[in-house]
Structure 1
Amino acid sequence: MAVLGAIGMIARSELRRRWAALVALGVLIGMVVAVVAGTAALVRRTATAHDRLERASSVADLQVSYFSDDPELARRVAAIPGVAQAWAGVGMVGRLEDQPSLAYIGIIGGPADHRGLYEPVVVRGHGYDPAEPDEAVLDERAAARWGVGVGDTLRLRLLTPSDFLSFDTGFGTPGGPVLKLTITGLTRMAGENARQMPLAVSPALASRLDPVSTAVMLRLEPGPRTVSAVSTALWRLGDGLARDPLAGEFPALQVSRPATDGDARIAATQRVLVTGLVVFAAVVGVAGLAAAGQAFYRHHAASAHAQRIEAVLGLTGLGRAGARTLAALPAAGLAGVTAAAGPLIAGLLEPLGPLAWVEPHPGYAPHVALVCGAGAAGLLITLLLAGGTAARTGRRPTDPGPLVPRLGMAALAAGAFGPAARFGSSAVSPLPAASSLSPVGSAAASAATGQGGAGSPLARGAACMRGPVWLWIGTAFALGRRRDRSPATRRPAVAGAAIGVTGLVAAATIAAGMNRLVDEPQRYGWNADLEITDARPEIVNRLAADPRVAAVSMLDASTATIEVDAEGRALRAPDPIQGDGPGDAGPGAIGRGDTSPGEDVAVYSLAPKATTRAGPVTSTGAVGWTIFEGVVPRGPNEVVLGPRAAQRFDLGVGNTVSVAANDGGHAVLTVVGIGIGPVPGGERLGESMLVEPATLARVQRTQPLRSALVRAVDPVNPVNLAAALGTEYELDVGRPPTEIANLGGIGRLPALLQTVLAALAVAAAGHAAGTTWRRRHGELAILRTLGFTPSQTARIPLTTSCVSAALAVAVGIPAGMLIGRLVWWEIATATGVSADLAIPVRVLAVLPPAAIAVGLLVAALPAWRAWRLLPGAVLRGE
């Protein structure tokens, strides 16, 4: 009981005398934990936004589309083994009547009972009334694109089925009815269906219209092979169907995986945002807790003599540390409350960048578990730091002499530099005996046997040096370590600044790659100024004759089947087990029994057209593919693969791949290049093939969809050309693919991250400078006693700070470049573009001089104090 009473008395005394410092430490730790926990809450909301939207909007496992109104076929699809639930909606296309240029919009509608499938989340306004034939909801992104809001009226003219199937030959004015729809709400929907059919109409209206397509949403039974089995069954069902001759460019059954495709399109953006936030939280946490630990150590070191008295009186080390931990309990409570505020405030923040568009529940959303965890972490971390640093200072041995542990560099000056310090000479001439200078010099010589005495290697090396003494001493201070037991002083002071520089360079490297990708459209395969959709040969001829057009190419798009083995690997040659034509799996099946015959991939061919301003052109012309490796295809058995397709099938330049031919045979193609082009087919970026037109005719599964890639002559503004042609043709002015648009939508996050990391690096350097020279003022006083002038003494902190800054840059630049290279490789791979590194030249050029300038700035106050230092007063206090 007496021990507990003593502990309580000491705790009350500590709290009464030093409550202000404890409160400040509690607030500091609470703020650090609050920032880290708030960032963790934002990371969680950002990383899970798409998955939560998938669940909230009930995205289907598979979507099967076909271009007819055939309820019986929908029932056959729903009856395939492995299908748990199905919902069949009808699709239509309408021409927007109130837009300055030609524009079409996809429409979907169906029964009111969605059966847990396809339920867009209304984020503004309200859903349509199922019984009202003039109400609809619109995807939020499409609404922003066309300037439509809740309550607005959307006027459009529907295409008839024959109009839709005549897109490639032209149909004039759509022959369907004109609709006036009131937009009752704006929606968010995961998956690709929201992009293809952003307008959802009421069941009352859908039942009255003549659809052009049917979309069957499927929920599959759980199981690792269910998707493969159902996909194979759909393949067979599609091959056995009769096709409309006018719909030759479409497969009989078009199968997609909405959730998987949508997730892949935002994967790169999600990775950038999450990585950036995690790096930010880690740097703040490490730097903040290191500073708090050092501050707590200094707090307890000030009363180290009291602990020695308590030890003499019989109080154990555990008891002494416990008393100071008990004194920190109010500060720990304050830290817990402050820390809990971080996730509460972060609940106001929605996912960053373009992922805000996929947040299913916008608005305030705090995470209760993180709030409680942050509060507990703030409390525990404060108590642990208080107890740990108190125990460490309590274990320090009694000093045999106050000056001895701190005289290493002073002894170096006395024994190695001698009068050179006094006179500022660049020549170094050691004195024979340091003890003749003063009693302090005698103590220095005694203490210097292991740390820079006259006979030490450091002193012998110093004898060979040339230059100002203060320069070498300042450098030695930056590179040396002290002998006391402080964890803060045993580690290089450069560590905190190096961590900040590493993060800064890594963030700058990633930002340089993202900016280059967004600013240079050719890097994601866009080498044209605009694309004309459904371009017929006569349209291409007119464009080639247009004096405003510098180059035009016909782009044909279809689907080809890369043959795979039982494990899904691409076949390098035709499988001898696989026959030509129907196999043993029944009518309409090809291949090896129950195994899918292959993987469908978008395939393109490019046919440049000579214009009135140019001679004959080839596929190597300006309007074409961007080749990352190898060359463009020049022969009938050559192919260029997109980066993601090459990685998916483990193929590289020089490999061969077997592709199913439409005559029942096989086409063995040689990979001559890795490259990327436009994605008018809507596939994921980098998941396509480029072949010669003759090869496309041999491997295409459907009649190709045609478009024209157009480049304007230099004096013509592409925007003006698009405005002129847009009144006659449906065109695209080169909006970046979804993956690139998502990266571009991140906005200023990389710059903000660089700013924060730079600020942390500066703060770490400033903190290191302050703590270093508070500890070394006794050594500076000894140097003044040995003959250093105020000016020379002031230059030592400046030199030490500059050397530390230079070391931080020397460590941080290569480490940051390495981390940035690894992260950018992950981003580029997920995006489907080239992974070559963009060097942040401007940052790397500015960083070294900026680091030196910061070093001089943070050392200005220590240098001023060193200049004004009174050695007698300092040494008398020792």
Structure 2
Amino acid sequence: MGAVRAVARAERRTGLRGLLLLGVLFGLVAGVVLGTVALAERTRGAYPRLVDAVGLDDARVAVAADQPQLLADVRRLPGVREAWVTYSWVAQVRGQSLQFVSIGAGQNQPADLLHPVLVAGRTPAPDAPDEVLVSEPLAERRGLTVGSRIPVALLTLRQVSDFDVGFGPPEGPSTELTVVGVGRMPAWGGALANVLAGPAFAQRHAGYAAARPVFVRLTDDPGSAAAFTAGFTAAAARADAVSRSIVADYVPRTVELPRSDADPALATTEQTLVVGLAVVAAVLGMGGAVVVGQGVGRHHQLRREPQLVESALGMGAGQRVTARLLAAAPAAVVAALLAGALGLAAGRLEPLGSLARFEPEPGLRPPWAIAAVGAVATAALFLAIVGVAAAVTGSVRRRRPPAVRPAVTWWSRWPAVTVGVRMAVRGRGGGPGAVMAVAVAVLSVAGIVATLAFGASVDRLVHEPARYGQAADLTVADAREPDMARLVGDPRVAALATVYSSTVLLADGRPLPGSAAVARKGVIPVAVATGRLPTGYGEIALSPRVARELGVGVGDVLPVQTSGLWPIDFRVVGTVAVVDESGGLGDGALVAPLQLGQVSQGVPLVSAQIVAAPGRADALAADLGRDLELSGREMPAEVRNLADLLRLPEILAVTLTLVAGLALAHSLLSAARRHRRELTVLAALGATPGQVRATLAVLAATTVVPALLLGVPLGLGIARVLWWQVATSIGVSGELSVPWGVLAVAAPIALGAALVLAVLPRAARAAAR
């Protein structure tokens, strides 16, 4: 060990500065990788942490206000451990346009059940009947902030029952609500209103409630959710048999399971983000390891003679490597500290894209475990690179006698090709290092192409509303025939369709939002992913997500329940992007207009979809909004989640391009230096300067050309699979948009840049001379 320590001290005196520089470089790369891992972990865990932070309920139902017996039965259903009964109102927002909003409130709320995370402000005071908390999506959509005023008038139960035929001015009390907070939840809508008031509001206006939402905490039994669902379905049927509610068409008999019924598109978005960050981390790590490994290899190559002397004096290979590891220990510590610090600093980065909407703890969240484990792994990996480089450099290899080769071969007429390829694959610095360099280049090109193609597909979806079922500029709720006749004759209306919406039950009891459209003027396009639209009896088109979940495709048969005794077999004729009545994408089905009444559960809701003439949408909306409940085109949450990712593919592509470009530039710039001896021998044997430069060009092309030939199709394949998963999960077409123009320009630029980098360095010019 005395000799080991002496050699280590000598190595520190002569080479510590270079090792420290390599340690700083490796620490920076490892820190960025750890930061990327920390960001991916925070992105992945945002939604489950929000679920725990708000105390999300296990099940929820909405009971009509005129069915008190059903409300009492809910508390006694199997699987119920705790139930919080609330009130829900429908209110008209007073203003220039006709708008409605749902308000929810309750008393005696359990401490661990359904408390939104505050994004701004506070919760309504228990004794303040005019204070409300609004959902984050509603605040963004309506421009509401803390302090905003919302003048509303409540509807009576009878007016809610007449929603489809008109009811005149609201007959309930009028009040002005003050927004005191903005809340964040995993999901809003359904039984959970977008405007939440306090106990004082519930006490004052209880008699005008349209529904009584119940939020349930289930027992820990595995079958509690199924038992509760079955029990509520039976109890609702008994209540309807005694006295059917007058608002039954507007209070669905469905059980929501918020914890288990998370939006599949959310999981897909999370997977996309995490996979993208993992690709970046992998390419950064591999590129950094290759660059640092080459630097460490050159560092030890310059010190090969001392190892030979040490070997002649009796030091074994293990002792020589141990001495170099001891010498590199300070550099490893520097790399570990730098990587850990950067990993901790990444705690300020919040989840990417739409997952930022689910972060329950905005601000700094230090990833202590990732930073600590990553720092130790950084030091260990740096020492491993140093040890391998020292062992390879200090090994004494016996040379094999050259193999007997034919004097003339078919490639010997192009010596630059022969020598350039051999230098890249088998020459000094080749072997595993060359394979690693090509592998990094292939993965980098594949990552760049995949991110560009995925980004182009997202961009096309976001900017072509018809692709996500929102070709209409305006939608009129509860459209009546006089309104439709007026719209048909309006020259500002380019296309008009009457849409009937209801719930369709499959034979296994699964509910689907069903709809049918009747064209009244012009044509409103529908995005067909596969097949065609249903036109005749017994035909149905499904959302791509529903089709995938059911395992059916075009031509398959799907039994659907009817109002009669027997189900009807529908033939699937296509998959289409369709938005249901509540604005959800990916859960619906289309049938022929004449058959919707036969399979719908309840009275269909009627709406009108309008495509305005060019430049006339705003004027038309202002005119119609005075006496019709009108809504503009709203991007579904599933597409909005993807829209939040639009910059991510660009960032990933730029990052991968920089990392791959720097790694490739480093490799090519050092190629002439690594092979200077071989190039000098070639020049002495009669190679011209042009042949020397051609040899270096072939060496560069040997790395770049395989990367392009293998990386481009690999990247397109990855993007096609990833986009198909994302698209079908949200309910749109999985057709990939390939940026052929960008690829056609980028490929020759990459090859040209590699050739320039290979032949222009000083060592290459010196060898050519």
Match of 1:162 in 2: 158
The answer to whether 1:700 aligns with 2:698 is no
Superposed CA offset, 1:728-757 (max 9, x none): 322222212111111011231110101111
Match of 1:472 in 2: 417
Cα gap change, 1:802 to 1:195, in 2 (>3 Å): farther
User: Amino acid of the residue matched to residue 586 of structure 2?
Assistant: G
1:29 pairs with 2, 26, 29, which one? 26
Gaps (5+ residues) in structure 2?
A: none
Q: Is the 8 A contact 2:70 2:239 kept in 1?
A: no
Gaps (5+ residues) in structure 1?
A: 406-446, 565-597, 615-621, 872-878
Match of 1:852 in 2: 751
Between the aligned partners of 1:474 and 1:254, the Cα distance in structure 2 is: 73
SS where residue 409 of structure 2 aligns?
helix
The answer to whether 1:38 aligns with 2:35 is yes
Structure 1 position 252, deviation (Å): 5.7
2:534 pairs with 613, 633, 642, which one? 633
1:666 pairs with 567, 571, 589, which one? 567
User: Amino acid of the residue matched to residue 63 of structure 1?
Assistant: R
Match of 1:552 in 2: 496
Q: Is the 8 A contact 2:60 2:191 kept in 1?
A: no
Q: Is the 8 A contact 2:526 2:576 kept in 1?
A: yes
Structure 1 position 651, deviation (Å): 1.9
The answer to whether 1:679 aligns with 2:577 is no
User: Amino acid of the residue matched to residue 462 of structure 1?
Assistant: W
Match of 1:865 in 2: 763
Which segment drifts farther, 43-52 or 765-774? 765-774
SS where residue 571 of structure 2 aligns?
strand
Alignment of 1:296-695 (within 5 A): 296-397=296-397, 449-450=402-403, 456-457=405-406, 459-463=408-412, 465=413, 469=414, 471-473=416-418, 475-477=420-422, 480-482=425-427, 487-489=432-434, 491=435, 493-564=437-508, 598-609=509-520, 611=521, 622-623=523-524, 625-683=526-584, 685-695=585-595
Superposed CA offset, 1:687-743 (max 9, x none): 222112332111111111111111123x44334332332233222222121111110
Match of 1:619 in 2: none
Between the aligned partners of 1:551 and 1:485, the Cα distance in structure 2 is: 66
Cα gap change, 1:387 to 1:77, in 2 (>3 Å): same
Cα gap change, 1:343 to 1:472, in 2 (>3 Å): closer
Structure 1 position 280, deviation (Å): 0.6
Match of 1:416 in 2: none
Q: Is the 8 A contact 1:551 1:710 kept in 2?
A: yes
Q: Superposition RMSD on alpha carbons, in Å?
A: 2.4
Between the aligned partners of 2:64 and 2:143, the Cα distance in structure 1 is: 30
Structure 1 position 457, deviation (Å): 4.8
Superposed CA offset, 1:426-478 (max 9, x none): xxxxxxxxxxxxxxxxxxxxx8x44xxxx735841235x4xxx5653565356
Cα gap change, 1:302 to 1:541, in 2 (>3 Å): same
Q: Is the 8 A contact 2:149 2:178 kept in 1?
A: yes
Cα gap change, 1:379 to 1:492, in 2 (>3 Å): closer
SS where residue 263 of structure 2 aligns?
helix
Superposed CA offset, 1:303-343 (max 9, x none): 11111111111111111111110111111111111111122
Between the aligned partners of 2:388 and 2:313, the Cα distance in structure 1 is: 22
Q: Is the 8 A contact 2:104 2:192 kept in 1?
A: no
SS where residue 654 of structure 1 aligns?
coil
Alignment of 1:30-179 (within 5 A): 30-68=27-65, 70=67, 72-97=69-94, 101-114=97-110, 116-179=112-175
Match of 2:212 in 1: 214
Between the aligned partners of 2:527 and 2:131, the Cα distance in structure 1 is: 45
Between the aligned partners of 1:168 and 1:857, the Cα distance in structure 2 is: 71
Structure 1 position 290, deviation (Å): 2.1
Between the aligned partners of 2:566 and 2:691, the Cα distance in structure 1 is: 87
Between the aligned partners of 2:476 and 2:419, the Cα distance in structure 1 is: 68
Between the aligned partners of 2:693 and 2:429, the Cα distance in structure 1 is: 24
Between the aligned partners of 1:844 and 1:652, the Cα distance in structure 2 is: 34
Structure 1 position 163, deviation (Å): 2.5
Cα gap change, 1:842 to 1:213, in 2 (>3 Å): same
Q: Is the 8 A contact 2:317 2:394 kept in 1?
A: yes
Superposed CA offset, 1:163-197 (max 9, x none): 32222112233222222222222110112338962
Match of 1:5 in 2: 2
Between the aligned partners of 2:285 and 2:601, the Cα distance in structure 1 is: 56
If the length of structure 2 is used for normalisation, what is the TM-score? 0.94
Match of 1:821 in 2: 720
Cα gap change, 1:78 to 1:625, in 2 (>3 Å): farther
Between the aligned partners of 1:458 and 1:681, the Cα distance in structure 2 is: 79
Between the aligned partners of 1:858 and 1:680, the Cα distance in structure 2 is: 59
SS where residue 123 of structure 1 aligns?
strand
User: Amino acid of the residue matched to residue 238 of structure 1?
Assistant: A
Match of 1:270 in 2: 270
2:620 pairs with 715, 721, 740, which one? 721
Cα gap change, 1:288 to 1:387, in 2 (>3 Å): same
Structure 1 position 266, deviation (Å): 1.7
Structure 1 position 115, deviation (Å): 5.1
Q: Is the 8 A contact 1:481 1:492 kept in 2?
A: no
Structure 1 position 791, deviation (Å): 4.1
Structure 1 position 638, deviation (Å): 1.7
User: Amino acid of the residue matched to residue 277 of structure 2?
Assistant: L
SS where residue 507 of structure 1 aligns?
helix
Identical aligned residues as a percent = 34
Q: Is the 8 A contact 1:69 1:214 kept in 2?
A: no
Structure 1 position 248, deviation (Å): 4.7
Superposed CA offset, 1:269-313 (max 9, x none): 222211111111111111111222222222122111111111111
Between the aligned partners of 1:652 and 1:460, the Cα distance in structure 2 is: 57
Q: Is the 8 A contact 2:502 2:605 kept in 1?
A: yes
Q: How many residues align?
A: 765
If the length of structure 1 is used for normalisation, what is the TM-score? 0.83
